[in-house]
Amino acid sequence: MSTEFTKMLNCKYPIIGAPMFLVSNVDMVSEISLAGGVGTFPTLNCRSVEQLEEWIVEIKKRVGDLPFGVNLILHKSNTRYEEDKALVLKHKVPFIISSLGDPTKLVKETREIGTKVFCDVINMKHAKKAVSAGADGLIVVSTGAGGHAGPLSPFASIPWFSKEFNIPIIAAGSIASGKTMAAALALGAQGVSVGTRFIASKEAQVEQGYKDAIVESSPESIFMSRALSGVNASVMRTKNTEDFYQWENSFKGKASQWIMYNLMKKGLKLKKKYSWNNVWSAGQSVGEVESVLNCREIVESFMSDFSEVKESLAKV
Ligand SMILES: Cc1cc2nc3c(=O)[nH]c(=O)nc-3n(C[C@H](O)[C@H](O)[C@H](O)COP(=O)(O)O)c2cc1C
């Protein structure tokens, strides 16, 4: 398969294993890259810079020349940014996904070593800034995504961003099969970034209950909450989180969610009880996930679905 993304990254398939806090690990990243995609992980999944170096060295050992990447949070709250970035540059990691912040300096620093920098964006204003900063590509995170979802439907955003910019646009949000990948490519994306589907993988470093909940949930069990990070994140309504869901809903219409978040930060009852560890994030693509597979099987299933879609569309 050949798209502007596969040509730029030198990979077989235009599938990024999206970086996921507390989920992505060495096994996931390596297996996705070995299967022909591009595995990535947030540097903050490593407890220390020393561990980050171990992860990068190990992934390189396993994947050889195949591309893989890291996610760097540029926001000033990430106190490890400079140290993590220095290591990533030292090891010439081929691919960086930047989130939250101005990537201008980062892009300049990567030019000589050939690392490609793609920026997570959820709106046109930030996309324009990222493109002026010299980004090699944009990851457009749409509504329905796991983690911090964007506000726009991919049916609107992907064609719009693709028309506006001459760099590869990657679609993120609610893509969990070759069918949805085909739809994203039809809309103008040059690749897809897939999170939720890979949580239900054998390699993901999360408890079995989380993986099972992804398989068992429906798109209607995903709700938005600001209570964990201050900005909207997609959360799964499960038996374990029913009280959290009810609590969250009880505030709607009574106080803004922002006030609620700040109350929580000050130590109201939920602060101690709920965190990213026990309130599980997932996107609306849970409806497409039917079993826990290993990462290679997931990438292969994308490609076989994709071929079927191409054949069936040719008959339309
Ligand atoms: C549990 C979870 C953790 C995430 N953590 C991060 C993160 O640390 N950095 C980041 O840029 N995106 C993060 N994301 C967003 C993903 O990289 C990706 O944009 C999103 O999962 C795509 O939507 P999908 O889940 O519908 O496939 C996270 C998503 C999930 C589900």
What is the mean predicted confidence (pLDDT) over 218-246? 82
Return the ligand 1 atom nearest residue 176 CA. Answer: 27
pLDDT at 272 over 60: no
98 and 12 within one domain? yes
**Same-domain pairing of 39 and 148:** yes
Both 148 and 100 in one domain: the answer is: yes
98 CA to centre of ligand 1 in angstroms: 12
Contact 97, 119 (CB under 8 A): yes
- Assess if residue 278 is contained within a domain: no
- Would you say the CB of residue 42 lies under 6 angstroms from ligand 1? yes
Q: How far apart (Å, rounded) are the C-alpha atoms in residues 178 and 156?
A: 20
Assigned domain for 255 exists = yes
Least-confidence region, from 23-27, 157-161, 311-315: 311-315
39 C-beta closer than 6 A to ligand 1 = no
Nearest CA to ligand 1 atom 8: 21
Residue 271 has pLDDT above 50, yes or no: no
Residue-by-residue DSSP string for 104-118: HHHHHHHGGGT-EEE
Q: Where are the beta strands (DSSP E) in the chain?
A: 15-17, 38-42, 68-73, 95-99, 116-121, 137-141, 169-172, 191-194, 222-225, 233-236
> What per-residue confidence (pLDDT) applies to 266?
53
Average pLDDT, the chain: 91
Q: What is the pLDDT of residues 129-185, one digit of tens each?
A: 999 999 999 999 999 999 999 999 999 999 999 999 999 999 999 999 999 999 999
pLDDT digits (tens, 9 = 90+) for 165-181: 999 999 999 999 999 99
Q: Does residue 28 lie within any of the structural domains?
A: yes
Of 3-17, 70-84, 180-194, 245-259, least confident by mean pLDDT is 245-259
Let me know whether 143 and 245 are in one domain. Answer: no
For residue 95, the cross-strand partners are: 69, 116
Of 60-74, 116-130, 238-252, 283-297, where does mean pLDDT reach its minimum?
238-252
Q: How many residues does the chain have?
A: 316
Who wins on pLDDT, 242 or 103? 103
pLDDT of residue 170: 98
Q: Is the dihedral of CA 138, 142, 145, 148 positive or negative?
A: positive
Q: Pick the residue whose CA is nearest to atom 3 on ligand 1.
A: 20
Q: Across residues 49-58, what is the average pLDDT? A: 97
Residue 21 lies in a domain: yes
Atom of ligand 1 nearest to the CA of 194: 27
The CATH number for 191's domain is: 3.20.20.70
Domain co-membership, 244 together with 100 = no
> Under DSSP, is residue 302 helix (H, G, I), strand (E, B) or coil?
helix
Ligand 1 pocket, residue 150 CB under 6 Å: no
Instruction: Examine the domain organization and report whether 255 and 152 are in the same domain.
Output: no
CA gap 284, 216 in Å, rounded: 12
Domain for residue 210, yes or no?
no
CA of residue 72 to ligand 1 center, whole Å: 13
Q: State whether 142 and 16 are in the same domain.
A: yes
Domain membership of residue 173 as a residue range: 4-205+288-314
Task: Using pLDDT thresholds of 50, 70 and 90, give the confidence band for residue 229.
Answer: confident
CA of 170 to the centre of ligand 1 (A): 14
Quote the percentage of the chain above a pLDDT of 70: 92
Does residue 141 sit in the same domain as residue 55?
Answer: yes
- Whether 195 and 226 share a structural domain: no
Domains in the chain, number: 2
Can you tell me the mean pLDDT for 53-59? 98
Same domain? 94 vs 46:
yes
Cα-atom radius of gyration of the chain, to the nearest Å?
19
Shared domain check, 184 and 298: yes
Specify if 127 maps to a domain.
yes
pLDDT of residue 256 exceeding 80: no
What is the reported pLDDT for 77?
A: 81
Examine residue 280 and state whether it is found in any structural domain, yes or no: no
Cα of 138 vs centre of ligand 1, distance in Å, is: 15
Q: What is the mean pLDDT of residues 268-292?
A: 80
Domain membership flag for residue 143: yes
228 in the same domain as 84: no
- Environment class of residue 96 by beta-carbon count within 10 Å: exposed (0-12), middle (13-18) or buried (19+)? buried
